[in-house]
């Protein structure tokens, strides 16, 4: 797992997502990919009386899959501009950082998090997530990773430009190893590939034209190893990148 020191911490991430809030639901095909969302729901293995925490709920696309099917869905985020769009899919909404969750110990049957850990201090966030889970509770993560050593340097450079608030950059083995280090058990991981329009992915509301062009140039100048791993396709006015996401499920001891 590669990381960079946060230059502005939580405030930087919040500012980043304030800019992205209006365009977020249209910024990536995986955002409302029903197959991916249902896979996350299935891995959470919930039951009608379950209480669920959606970590970094954003606009509520994951919460929506659980809402009305379980006893209670709680969303947490740090950005009101994002989270206000999720209110119709939540029983409760709390503005709080994952590094210091404002919940009692052992209150959730399952916690889910899609694309949130990249903005967090993991040595604080993972113990907090574990704390609020019940014994035997399930954690499901879904995060963008590089494919491996062949593409990681280029993939991380692109991700860094696209999300300047990002703190963590993952290889596929990082998340399972991290959860094991914090005592989670029955850890399983699953690959999910998502074909993304680069033009759509970088037109996210937070990047100026210069930065968007820098990203395009990184793609155009990418190595053959990167191109092969990502199955890059150069169209007349766009680039298609087959991005790798990792789904990880784990159980609190």
d(CA 253, CA 250): 9
Q: Find, among 131, 166, 170, the residue nearest to 148 by Cα.
A: 170
Question: How many whole angstroms from its chain centre is CA 201?
Answer: 14
Indicate the pLDDT class of residue 129, thresholds 50, 70 and 90: very high
Residue 7 pLDDT? 40
The predicted-structure confidence for 156-202, as pLDDT tens digits, reads as follows 999 999 999 999 999 999 999 999 999 999 999 999 999 999 999 99
pLDDT for 64-114, tens place per residue? 999 999 999 999 999 999 999 999 999 999 999 999 999 999 999 999 999
Paired tokens of 212: 């968007």
For residue 192, the cross-strand partners are 245
Q: Can you give the pLDDT at residue 138?
A: 98
- pLDDT recorded at residue 4: 40
| Rounded-to-integer distance, Cα 58 and Cα 28, Å | 14
Q: Is the pLDDT of residue 5 over 50?
A: no
- pLDDT (0 to 100) of residue 3: 39
Residue 238 has a pLDDT of 97
**Rounded CA gap, 20 and 216, in Å?**
19
- The yes-or-no verdict on residue 251 having pLDDT over 50 is yes
Can you say whether residue 169 is alpha, beta or left, with left for phi > 0 and alpha for psi between -120 and 50 degrees?
beta
Instruction: Give the pLDDT confidence score for residue 10 in this predicted structure.
Output: 75
Judge whether residue 2 has pLDDT over 60: no
pLDDT of residue 9: 62
String of DSSP letters for 112-175: EEES-GGGS-HHHHHHHHHHHEEEEEEEEEEEEE-SSTTTHHHHHHHHHHH-TT--EE--TTHH
**Contact 112/54 with Cβ under 8 angstroms?**
yes
Q: What is the pLDDT of residues 25-56, one digit of tens each?
A: 999 999 999 999 999 999 999 999 999 999 99
137 pLDDT exceeds 90? yes
Q: pTM for the complete prediction? A: 0.94
| Selected residue with higher pLDDT from 198 and 7 | 198
Q: Which domains does the chain have, with CATH numbers?
A: 7-147+165-196+245-251 (3.40.50.150)
Helix (H) or strand (E) holding 186: strand 185-197
Q: What is the mean pLDDT of residues 221-233?
A: 98
189 with 248: CB under 8 angstroms?
yes
CA distances from 217 to 5, 22, 143, 145 (A): 25, 26, 25, 21
Strands 108-114 and 168-169: what pairing? unpaired
């Amino acid at each position: 797992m590669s990381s960079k020191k946060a230059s502005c911490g939580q405030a930087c991430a919040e500012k980043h997502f304030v800019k992205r809030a209006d365009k977020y639901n249209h910024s990536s095909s995986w955002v409302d990919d029903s197959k991916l969302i249902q896979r996350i729901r299935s891995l959470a293995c919930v039951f009608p009386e379950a209480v669920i925490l959606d970590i970094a709920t954003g606009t509520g696309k994951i919460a929506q899959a659980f809402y009305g099917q379980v006893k209670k869905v709680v969303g947490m985020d740090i950005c009101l501009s994002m989270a206000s769009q999720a209110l119709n899919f939540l029983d409760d909404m709390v503005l709080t950082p994952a590094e210091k969750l404002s919940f009692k110990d052992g209150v959730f049957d399952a916690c889910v998090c899609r694309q949130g850990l990249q903005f967090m201090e993991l040595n604080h966030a993972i113990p907090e997530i574990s704390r609020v889970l019940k014994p035997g509770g399930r954690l499901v993560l879904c995060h963008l990773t590089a494919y491996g050593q062949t593409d990681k340097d280029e993939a991380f450079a692109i991700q860094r430009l696209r999300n300047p608030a990002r703190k963590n950059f993952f290889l596929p083995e990082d998340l399972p190893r991290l959860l094991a280090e914090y005592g989670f058990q029955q850890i399983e991981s699953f690959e999910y590939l998502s074909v993304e329009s680069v033009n759509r992915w970088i037109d996210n509301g937070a990047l100026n034209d210069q930065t968007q062009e820098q990203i395009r140039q990184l793609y155009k100048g990418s190595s053959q190893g990167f191109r092969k791993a990502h199955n890059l396709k150069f169209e007349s006015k766009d680039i298609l990148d087959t991005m790798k996401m990792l789904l990880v499920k784990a159980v609190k001891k």
